[in-house]
A and B are shown apart, each in its own frame.
Chain A
Amino acid sequence: DGGITQSPKYLFRKEGQNVTLSCEQNLNHDAMYWYRQDPGQGLRLIYYSQIVNDFQKGDIAEGYSVSREKKESFPLTVTSAQKNPTAFYLCATSTSGGTDTQYFGPGTRLTVL
């Protein structure tokens, strides 16, 4: 069954802890993206990657880190430097980036206590 999986669906962490969100795809897409969604603010791009072992900062990269060691995987780490990490995080993929349609995973809701 093809698609994008994000795990876990809900995540709770204490303030000051790093946490890693998983995103896996079997669509054979080259490009992968991480967005943050807050109420009333739409989606904001955190990081994106168009090829393995390469990634670029988006509009709100501070306090986040990523890796792209495999085509199928693009994990996002929310570090303790991120001041307001509580949000809904969405992973997306597209065939080659740019104007191609982006397909979204189901999301992870992170709550920092």
Chain B
Amino acid sequence: AQSVTQLGSHVSVSEGALVLLRCNYSSSVPPYLFWYVQYPNQGLQLLLKYTTGATLVKGINGFEAEFKKSETSFHLTKPSAHMSDAAEYFCAVSVRENTDKLIFGTGTRLQVFP
């Protein structure tokens, strides 16, 4: 069965610093991987997704993630944090053989300090 682990429930960075949010997945077949962002009391918004092909995926708001099969990872990065990036971030996995649902990680709350 597939699963997702997000390391670190809270991450704090200074404005302008690198953002790194970690996600590791478990899947016996090639996965589809997603990152979503959630602002307080709102729904989730898709940041980016990996399906097949290029392993470095660029998303909205300057975020990107790299699929590393050998490490079963899909970490989210942004070179320079902005105050508006403060939110909760969720990694999710879906596999083609289990075509009915996404499996979400428990989320990482990003704080950005001035």
**With A42-B105, A99-B95 in contact, do A104 and B44 touch (Cβ < 8 Å)?**
yes
Q: Chain B residues with Cβ under 8 A from A90's Cβ?
A: 43-44
Closest chain B residue, CB of each to CB of A100:
B94
Judge whether A98 is part of the interface by a CB distance below 8 angstroms.
Answer: yes
Judge whether B70 is part of the interface by a CB distance below 8 angstroms.
Answer: no
Q: Chain A residues with Cβ under 8 A from B46's Cβ?
A: 101, 103
B69, chain A: closest CB distance, angstroms: 17
Task: Return the CB mask of A24-46 against B: 1 if under 8 Å, else 0.
Answer: 00000000010000001111110
Judge whether A85 is part of the interface by a CB distance below 8 angstroms.
Answer: no
**With A104-B44, A106-B43 in contact, do A97 and B100 touch (Cβ < 8 Å)?**
yes
CB atoms of B101 and A48 under 8 A apart: yes
Q: Given the complex of chains A and B, what is the CA–CA distance between A88 and B49 in angstroms? A: 24
Band of interface residues on A:
20 to 34
Task: Return the CB mask of A41-55 against B: 1 if under 8 Å, else 0.
Answer: 111110010100000
**With A43-B90, A99-B51 in contact, do A107 and B41 touch (Cβ < 8 Å)?**
yes
Judge whether B28 is part of the interface by a CB distance below 8 angstroms.
Answer: no
Q: Given the complex of chains A and B, what is the CA–CA distance between A102 and B43 in angstroms? A: 11
In B36-53, the 8 Å CB interface with A consists of: 36, 41-46, 49, 51
Judge whether B9 is part of the interface by a CB distance below 8 angstroms.
Answer: yes
Judge whether A71 is part of the interface by a CB distance below 8 angstroms.
Answer: no
Q: List 24 A-B contacts (CB under 8 A).
A: A6-B43, A40-B106, A42-B104, A42-B106, A42-B107, A43-B44, A43-B90, A43-B104, A45-B101, A45-B102, A48-B100, A48-B101, A50-B100, A56-B100, A90-B44, A92-B43, A97-B100, A98-B94, A98-B96, A99-B99, A101-B34, A104-B45, A105-B43, A109-B41
User: Taking beta carbons and an 8 Å cutoff, which residues of B are in contact with A?
Assistant: 9, 32, 34, 36, 41-46, 49, 51, 90, 94-96, 99-102, 104-107
User: Taking beta carbons and an 8 Å cutoff, which residues of A are in contact with B?
Assistant: 4, 6, 33, 40-45, 48, 50, 56, 58, 88, 90, 92, 97-99, 101-107, 109
